[in-house]
Homo-oligomer: A and B are copies of this chain.
C-alpha cells in the first residue's frame, strides 16, 4: 500500500530515533525493507537527501499532531499536557525525539539538515508560545515576562527530561518513564499551581 519512499522514511526515522542519524547505514535500512542498499539511492540519491526528507516530514507530522491537540484539548493546560504526552509516548516506543537526537549530532550533519532542525525547534517554540499566552490570559498559567522566553524554558525542560531518562531506558524502561513524568509533573506544578 504505502510507497517504498514512505516505508524507507518510516524505517529511517525509527533507526534515527533509536541510534542516531549517523549510526545507521544504508544496509540497515535496506535490510528492514527487504531490498538492496543500492535501491535506496534511487529514492534518495545521498544520505543528506534522506536526512532532509526525514526531518521535513517529521516537522510536518508534529505540526499536524499539535493541530490535532489544539482541536481536541479543552484548555491551555490540556494542550500543554498533550504536548508532553507525545514525548512520553516516544519514550514508551523506545524512541528519542528526532529533534533532540539530531540536535546532539548537529556538528556532523549536512548544513541543509541542520537548518531543518533549527526550523523544527522554532516551530515548536512558536506553538508553545501561543499555548502559554492563551493559558496566561485564561488564568491557567502564572509566569512573568515574555511568553517566548517561557516557551524556551518549557522546550528545554521537556527535551532535557527525555534525554536524561534516555540512558535509564535501556536498563529500566519503566523507571525511565516514571522519571520523565515526575520531572514534568513537577515542572507543571510551578507553571500552573493548583
Contact = CB atoms under 8 A, between A and B. Distances in A.
Interface of A: 18-20, 22-23, 96, 100-108, 114, 117-118, 121, 144-145, 149-150, 152-153, 155-161, 163-164, 166-171, 179, 182-183, 186-187, 189-190
A149 B23 contact: no
Given A20-B105, A186-B150, A155 B144 contact: no
Contacts of A96: 104
Contacts of A101: 104
Given A20-B20, A22-B23, A107-B170, 12 more contacts: A20-B105, A23-B108, A104-B104, A114-B170, A118-B167, A121-B167, A144-B189, A152-B179, A155-B160, A156-B183, A159-B163, A160-B161
B166 A155 contact: no
B159 A103 contact: no
Given A23-B105, A96-B104, A189-B144, A159 B164 contact: yes
15 contacts: A18-B107, A22-B22, A23-B105, A103-B166, A106-B170, A107-B170, A114-B167, A121-B164, A121-B167, A149-B186, A150-B186, A152-B183, A153-B157, A156-B183, A157-B160
